[in-house]
Structure formats: C-alpha cells, structure tokens
Amino acid sequence: MAEVSINQARKFYGTFEAVKGIDVDVADGEFVVLVGPSGCGKSTLLRMIAGLEDVSGGEIAIAKTVVNDLPPKDRGIAMVFQNYALYPHMSVRANMSYSLRLKRVPKPEINERVNRAAAILGLDDLLDRHPKQLSGGQRQRVAMGRAIVREPKVFLFDEPLSNLDAALRVQMRSEIKALHQRLGTTIIYVTHDQVEAMTMADKIVVMRDGEIEQIGEPLDLYDHPANRFVAGFIGSPAMNFMQGTVDDGVFRTSDGVEMARVGSSEATTLGVRPEHLALSDEGVPLTVEMIEPTGAETQVAGKIGSQPIVGVFRERISAWPGDMLHVRLDHEHVHLFDPGGLRVARSRSSAD
Amino acid sequence: MSSDNRPSAGVPIGAVGKHAVLIFFTALSIVPVLMILVNSFKSRRAIFSDPVAFPGPETFSLIGYHTVFVRSNFMDYYVNSLTVTVVSLVLILILATMIAFALAEYEFTGNKLLAMFFLLGIILPVRLGSVSMLQLMVSLKLVNTLAALICVYTAMGMPLAVFILTQFMRQVPREIKDAARIDGANEYRVFLLTLPTIRPAIATVAILTMIPVWNDLWFPLILAPAPETQTVTLGAASFLGQFLSDWNAVLAALSLSAGPILALYLIFSRQFLSGLTAGAVK
Ligand SMILES: Nc1ncnc2c1ncn2[C@@H]1O[C@H](COP(=O)(O)OP(=O)(O)O)[C@@H](O)[C@H]1O
Ligand SMILES: [Mg+2]
C-alpha cells in the first residue's frame, strides 16, 4: 500500500514561490506523470516528495504517513535522475548495491537482489563495468537498477529520458512502462514532453507556474482540456486557436469568417486540433502556405482569414502555396474558451 | 589515404612558431636544473673552469655527495623535510576538502563571509606575521619542533586549497549527492563520495601546496633552526657558509632534494590523466 497524497504543498525560494499550494492524490500502483513547460516546478515538487527539498507549507504523505520531516532514506522512495547520477568510481554492481550495503543487508541477500534487478533490466553482463564504460541508455538502466534494488514503495523519475536520443527514448519509454506493469509499484514521473506523458501515464498532472492546470487521464485531457493552456500543451501538432465571437450561435473569426455553429456562448476563442479538420467541397476557406506530406498523412499550414492554422489530413493533397482549400470543422471536436482561457461548455443545440 | 588525418609531413609555420616558444620555455626551466645535476658530479675546479661541460674521466668527482652524507646529517634533514611536507599536505587536504564541501554544499549564515575570509589568506603574505608567529611558538614551547613548521605550513596552504576546492566542489552534480542521500548515506559518506569526482583538483592542490613547503627556507630558519629539526633546504643552505661555500656539497644537496618532490609530483600528476568523472553524469 503506497499511495501518495500531496496536500496544499508549497515551496518558497526566498520570496519566489516555485510551488503554489498543490493537491495531488496518487493511488497505490498508479503511474502519474507531472508534465508542464520547463521551470513550472515539476522537479521541485518531485524533490519535495523525495525529501531533497524542505516543504515550505502543506503536507506530503506516503503510504498514509506524513513524511514532511523524514529524511529521504526513510521515505520508502527511490529516484532516477535525468543525468543518471551514478557513482563514478564504483562498478555497476557497487552502484546498485550501495544502499543495501549502507543498511548492512546480509551479503547473500544483496547479491540476490542485485542479480534479480540486473536480470530484469538486462544488465547481467555489465555488472563489473564502471559507468564511464557504458552508453547513455545503459547508464540510465543502471540508475533504474539502483532504484529497483531498494524495493521502494514509490519510484520517482525526473526526466529520465531527456538525455537519450530519440530512438532510445521510445525504447526506454516502453521499458519503463513494462517495468511498471511488472512491479506494480507507484510511479511519479516528471517530464516536459507531452508525448511521453500521454503514452505512459495512468493519470497526468499538467502544471504551469507552480500551479496545477488540470489532472486527468491522458485521453480525458486530450478530449476535454479544462483551459486553453492544457488544450495547447497536450497534443501534437498543437491545437489551433482562432480568435472571434459568437453571433446567432455561429462562431465567426475576427476577420468575419464563419467557422462553425456552436450555439449561444460567451466564447472568444475557438480551438480545433489539426487532425479534426476535414477536407470538403465547401466550408471554411483555407489559404495554403506550406504542405508537408509524411506519407501516411499530409500536414497543411495556412491561414483562415488572417489567422494561422495547421491541418493534418489522411488524404494526399496536391495543392500549392497560395491555393485555396475548403475545410469542415468536426463540430464534436470544437473547443470553446472564454476570454480568461477557461473552457466554455457548449449548449446542446450546437449539435444540429 | 586521404582519409588519414594524421598531420602531413609538411608542418605548417604556425606549429613551428608554437614549438619554438614551447621549447624555449622548457629549456629555460630545465637547463638550470640540469646544470645543478651535472655540476654536482664534478670536482670543484671543473665546476668553475667549465660549468657547462659534462663530467669527463678527469673531472668526475663524488666529493659533493661524500660531504653531504659523511660530514652532515643529511639523511635526518631528508626525513624532517618529508615529515613536514607529507603531514602538512595530508592535513591541508583533509581540512580543505571538508571546508570546501561545507562552503559549497550548505547554506548557512556567514557562508559567504567565511569564503571571503579564506580568500583574504591568499592575498596577504603569511611571512608578514613571522614575528608574532615566532612569539606564539615560543609561548607554546614549539620552537625547534617539526610541529611548529607543520602548523604554519598547514595554515599557509589552506586558503588557496580551500579556494580551488570550493570551486570544484560546486561543480559536483548535486544529483550524485542527492542519490547518495536517498540511498541512505550520511553527510560524511556524501562528502567521501564527492572526492573521487574532484580527484584532479585535489591533485592540483597537492602539487601547488607541497612545492612551496618543501622548498621553504624562511620558516625552518626562524622557527626550527636546531640541528635535529633542520630541513633539506636549510641543510643545503648551511653548506654556503659552514665550509666556505662548499659548492660541491650545495649542488649535491640540491640535486638530492629534488628527488622526493619529483616522486610526489609524479604520483599526483598521474591523477590528472584519469578522467574519473566521465560516466557519472551525462
Ligand atoms: N534552489 C533554487 N533556488 C531558487 N530558485 C529555484 C531553485 N530551484 C528551482 N528554482 C526555481 O523554481 C522554479 C521551478 O524549478 P523546477 O522545479 O526545476 O522546474 P521544472 O518544472 O523545469 O523541473 C524555476 O523558476 C526555478 O528557477
Ligand atoms: Mg526539472
């Protein structure tokens, strides 16, 4: 049983508030990803959970025990860092067994636990090497091995894949997911990469400027972003936002282009994902500026009126910069935001 | 063949210039040492008649070394010098690494002030305090003991050592220390874990602090001039008056005194080569 509950957690650096009263509940065995732009306080929050930063306010509990005043080693956590942070002068085996040796665990048990972790991660042949003799991916695996050996209640990951190249990142992503399914341990994982968040998480916490913007399951955030920030952050290529007003149940851009029927609404921003635009013979006129075919789909960048828009289509399109296409907005997938950026619910009548 | 990227036979002009400068400065520092060594194996007359010549069958003489070993307590001086240098060095390294760790790692009131205080020690020449140091040693009854020298040299070497090591300690990735704390290491162990990552800096500090200590003439002269506490430098200097400036002995003593310091230098400089931090963090 190792749920983590964070209650009004705050962190001040001097007068600067890096974490502004955050509430998160992580269920036992859950894979939670903290995601947000660089500098939003993800690492700070994670380090507070680990006990590496003092908590300026609020409460952090692991397995129902408040841990605010416990040192890191007594919190039942293990952490994996972006830059691996291996002990350079120790072999892989010594790196992995360090915590157990400090705890004076009997030698045979140490060996057994190290060997088991090494087998899980495919490190068996590397146990006698030193960190400098390993590749980036292998080093990150050793860092994970060092965490596994401690048999923690909660794993904390701080951007563990950011230093790896793209191909390795995808591979390690699935390895970490498989590891989670195998061990069933609670994981709190920090990343600035929304793709990582979407593919790995049971639950995503989107943060900005020390505050939580939204908590939810990946597809929940994709389908029902609570505000413009989350809408723009989740999904790639990013959601298009058109400025305009609603008149007679119709959203018109500031250039007067009729976008979609949305019902009566206070909305001043209409959001639509590139993949939710469809080509049609008539509809919203789109002036093409650039076409990028990837084979499976075609990405079109252009303008509706004077506002930029990106569309992704399954069809192959033969058009040139300057040409005019017509697109239809899938009204199921139109998002509306008020002037403050908050999501505006659409009235039912908009569906007709 | 064209993929062979070794330098081609035709060396560019720039490289010639660089090498000329390097060779010049190398010669500038090696030639005097070589002269001392060469002349220490010659008879007194040969030293003066042709100082640049190598010892030949007629001019070869070990009289200098004979004087040094038979007519003075040179082995005792050797032991004294080694004791003072090694003990001071060990003390400096232990204390300075710990101070540097504290200054770099912990935020406490007075942290900056303390760092400035050590910086001040680099700027002020320690010899300015010679008189009061002598008075202090007299009242501590430490005059004519090696302990007096060790105390002074440890204090003397500390500021620069702390300064350099603090800079390097700051560069130790904090994640290594964090990982160790999570793994259950107490602060002493965290400290010990940082040492391998700054090994080259420690070696640099060792060399920088040990050479002035070994070569120093001033403090042995005023704090420990007694025959049983004399150091090599002081012993060598004593040949300058004691035997009507016995140049053979002086040169022999100087040649001999370079040995241990050279050995220590070789030991420490090897640490530069092993880039041990590689692989610790990205
Ligand atoms: N030790 C510190 N002292 C002062 N400010 C800090 C410190 N650590 C982090 N910050 C600030 O707190 C904010 C959040 O940092 P961090 O949690 O590292 O962001 P990220 O989401 O990129 O991991 C940033 O604005 C950063 O500048
Ligand atoms: Mg971070």
- What percent of chain A is predicted at pLDDT more than 90? 87
Distances (CA, A) of B244 to B39, B44, B113, B166: 18, 12, 52, 49
Please report the pLDDT score of residue A352 as a whole number: 40
For residue A41 and ligand 1, the question of a CB distance below 6 A is answered with: yes
More confident residue, B259 or A113: A113
Tell me which H or E stretch contains A230: helix A228-233
Task: Report CA(A135)–ligand 2 centroid distance (Å).
Answer: 23
Please report the pLDDT score of residue B95 as a whole number: 97
Enter the DSSP assignment of A129: S
Given a cut of 80, whether residue A280 has pLDDT beyond it is yes
Given a cut of 80, whether residue B276 has pLDDT beyond it is no
Please report the pLDDT score of residue A347 as a whole number: 59
Same structural domain, A226 and A269: no
State the pairing for strand pair A250-253/A258-261.
antiparallel
Given a cut of 70, whether residue B3 has pLDDT beyond it is no
Q: Which residues pair with A211 in a beta bridge?
A: A208
Given a cut of 50, whether residue B278 has pLDDT beyond it is no
Least confident of A101-110, A340-349, B4-13, B208-217: B4-13
| CATH architecture observed for domain B66-281 | Orthogonal Bundle (1.10)
Given a cut of 60, whether residue A320 has pLDDT beyond it is yes
Tell me which H or E stretch contains A344: none
Domain boundaries, chain B: 15-61, 66-281
Query: Does the CB of B184 have a partner CB in chain A at under 8 Å?
Result: yes
For residue A39 and ligand 1, the question of a CB distance below 6 A is answered with: yes
Residue B92 binned pLDDT confidence (cut-offs 50, 70, 90) = very high
Task: Report CA(B278)–ligand 2 centroid distance (Å).
Answer: 22
The protein residue with its alpha carbon nearest to ligand 1, atom 20, reads A39
Question: If you average pLDDT over every residue of chain B, what do you get?
Answer: 86
ipTM: 0.86
Q: Which residues pair with A60 in a beta bridge?
A: A6
Query: Does the CB of B271 have a partner CB in chain A at under 8 Å?
Result: no
Which member of A52, A82, A134 has the closest CB to residue B181?
A: A52
CATH code (residue A109) = 3.40.50.300
Given a cut of 80, whether residue B271 has pLDDT beyond it is no
Query: Does the CB of B171 have a partner CB in chain A at under 8 Å?
Result: no
CATH code (residue A273) = 2.40.50.140
Please report the pLDDT score of residue B277 as a whole number: 46
CA B278 to CA A129: how far, in whole Å? 13
B106-144 tens-digit pLDDT: 989 999 999 999 989 888 888 888 999 999 999 999 999
- Measured between its terminal Cα atoms, the distance across chain B in Å is 35
Please report the pLDDT score of residue B10 as a whole number: 57
Query: Does the CB of B278 have a partner CB in chain A at under 8 Å?
Result: yes
- Residue A304: how many CA atoms within 13 Å on its side-chain side? 27
Could you give the strand order of the β-sheet that contains A269-272, starting from the edge strand earlier in sequence?
Answer: A258-261, A250-253, A240-247, A269-272, A334-337
Distances (CA, A) of B234 to A268, B41, B127, B131: 89, 21, 17, 19
Residue A331 binned pLDDT confidence (cut-offs 50, 70, 90) = confident
Same structural domain, A78 and A93: yes
Report residue B222 as tokens.
């005023």
**In ligand 1, which atom is closest to the CA atom of A158?**
23
- Residue A299: how many CA atoms within 13 Å on its side-chain side? 10
Same structural domain, A23 and A79: yes
A145-188 tens-digit pLDDT: 999 999 999 999 999 999 999 889 999 999 999 999 999 999 99
Question: If you average pLDDT over every residue of chain A, what do you get?
Answer: 93
Please report the pLDDT score of residue B14 as a whole number: 80
Same structural domain, A220 and A255: no
Same structural domain, A13 and A106: yes
Report residue A283 as tokens.
């509809």
Please report the pLDDT score of residue A350 as a whole number: 43
Least confident of B57-61, B124-128, B145-149: B57-61
Q: B62 Cβ partners below 8 Å, 6+ apart?
A: B41
Q: A168 Cβ partners below 8 Å, 6+ apart?
A: A136, A137, A161
Distance from CA of A78 to the nearest CA of B (A): 7
Same structural domain, A127 and A179: yes
Q: Please, which residues 85-114 of chain B have a Cβ atom closer than 8 Å to chain A?
A: none
Given a cut of 90, whether residue A85 has pLDDT beyond it is yes
Please report the pLDDT score of residue A319 as a whole number: 87
Q: Which residues pair with A12 in a beta bridge?
A: A17
Same structural domain, A224 and A325: no
- What percent of chain A is predicted at pLDDT more than 70? 98
Count of CB atoms situated within 10 Å of the CB of A284:
21
A25-49 tens-digit pLDDT: 999 999 999 999 999 999 999 999 9
More confident residue, B259 or A31: A31
Given a cut of 80, whether residue A262 has pLDDT beyond it is yes
Same structural domain, A27 and A84: yes
Residue A351 binned pLDDT confidence (cut-offs 50, 70, 90) = very low
Task: Identify all chain A residues contacting B282, using CB atoms and an 8 Å cutoff.
Answer: 82-84, 136, 163
- Residue range A268-279: average pLDDT? 94
Name the residue range of residue A250's domain: 238-350
Q: Please tell me the total count of domains within chain A.
A: 2
Same structural domain, A330 and A346: yes
Among A214, A232, A250, the domain boundary falls at: A232
- Residue range B178-202: average pLDDT? 93
Same structural domain, A196 and A254: no
Among A202, A232, A262, the domain boundary falls at: A232
Same structural domain, A83 and A144: yes
For residue A122 and ligand 1, the question of a CB distance below 6 A is answered with: no
**In ligand 1, which atom is closest to the CA atom of A207?**
21
Which residue intervals of chain B are DSSP H helices? 13-39, 44-49, 63-70, 74-105, 111-123, 130-139, 146-171, 174-182, 187-197, 199-215, 218-223, 232-242, 247-273
Same structural domain, A216 and A253: no
Residue B235 binned pLDDT confidence (cut-offs 50, 70, 90) = confident
Enter the DSSP assignment of B60: B
Among A209, A232, A255, the domain boundary falls at: A232
Given a cut of 50, whether residue A349 has pLDDT beyond it is no
Given a cut of 70, whether residue A19 has pLDDT beyond it is yes
Please report the pLDDT score of residue B282 as a whole number: 46
Query: Does the CB of A136 have a partner CB in chain B at under 8 Å?
Result: yes
- Residue range B25-40: average pLDDT? 89
